[in-house]
Homo-oligomer: A and B are copies of this chain.
Amino acid sequence: MTDLKTQHLLTLAHILSKGGKHNFVNVTTTSLGKEIGKSQQSASLHLKELESGGFIERIQSGRKQSIKITHKGFVELSTLHNLLSKLISKSSNSLTFTGTITSGMGEGAYYMSMKGYTKQFKSKLGYVPYPGTLNVQIKEKKFSEAISQLSNYEGIKINPFSDGKRTFGWVKCFKSKINNKVDCELILLERTHHDTTIVEFISKHNIRKALKISEKSNVKVKISILDNFS
């Protein structure tokens, strides 16, 4: 059983798009070549090889030809489709990393207690955060690199606001779980230099207390990422 060459994939897909699942459709090698971004000669060769591989059937009368996808050919496309479906749906939407608790209030701690933010936290997260933030230092480069890409995602968006004198930037929250135990949110601040070796968390609870941990403890963090992009 000959296998479908990856180079022929697009060609086969194009024939299907022409309606060639059950009916013979008229296709010229010139037009097919243009559509798949190759030459007429390549299209001709593709058809020849697809035919000998049993992926399409051809009827040629004189200089015209009609083409239809075979069952085998359709199954081949379906198989690839199913493979991708599984990969895409089953690929984990979480980011896991380890780090150590570090001191310092964190740049966001003060701002996160402002009314303009807490009101939104209450309605969008369902709670007003415990005062202060938990800071976790990331040591491994692969983790901080991965975290830096979080900014591509929307997360839960807390809108900017103004108190009349100045404005305060947006905050993105990402549902997280520390040590597989305490629910919290990782926060990304608009107005922060984007150093991702230290990340901040807010929570309904006093995280340190809930985890019974102290300075320099190692923690494992799992962040949920939804597929809406900014």
**Residues of A that sit less than 8 Å from B by CB:** 6-7, 9-10, 13, 16-17, 19, 21-24, 57, 59, 61, 66, 68, 70-71, 77-78, 80-81, 83-85, 87-88, 91-97, 141-143, 145-146, 149, 152, 225, 229
A19 contacts which chain B residues (CB < 8 A)? 91-92
Q: Which residue of B lies closest to A13 (CB)?
A: B87
Choose among B59, B91, B142 the residue that contacts A21 (Cβ–Cβ < 8 A).
B91
Check B22 against A92 for contact (C-beta < 8 Å): yes
- Known A77-B84, A152-B71: A95·B23 in contact at CB below 8 Å: yes
Check A142 against B66 for contact (C-beta < 8 Å): yes
**Assembled-state Cα–Cα distance A44/B85 (Å):** 26
Check A71 against B229 for contact (C-beta < 8 Å): yes
Q: Which residue of B lies closest to A95 (CB)?
A: B22
In the assembled complex, 23 residue pairs joining A and B whose CB atoms fall closer than 8 Å, in A order, are: A13-B84, A16-B87, A16-B91, A21-B93, A22-B92, A22-B93, A22-B94, A22-B149, A23-B92, A23-B97, A24-B142, A24-B145, A24-B146, A59-B141, A68-B142, A68-B149, A71-B149, A71-B152, A77-B88, A78-B88, A81-B85, A81-B88, A85-B85
**Assembled-state Cα–Cα distance A103/B68 (Å):** 30
Q: Which residue of B lies closest to A17 (CB)?
A: B87
Check A23 against B66 for contact (C-beta < 8 Å): no
Check A23 against B59 for contact (C-beta < 8 Å): no
A87 contacts which chain B residues (CB < 8 A)? 13, 16-17, 77
A59 contacts which chain B residues (CB < 8 A)? 141-142, 145
Q: Which residue of B lies closest to A57 (CB)?
A: B145
Choose among B16, B24, B77, B96 the residue that contacts A23 (Cβ–Cβ < 8 A).
B96
Task: Name, among A13, A87, A149, the residue most crowded by chain B CB atoms within 10 Å (CB to CB).
Answer: A87
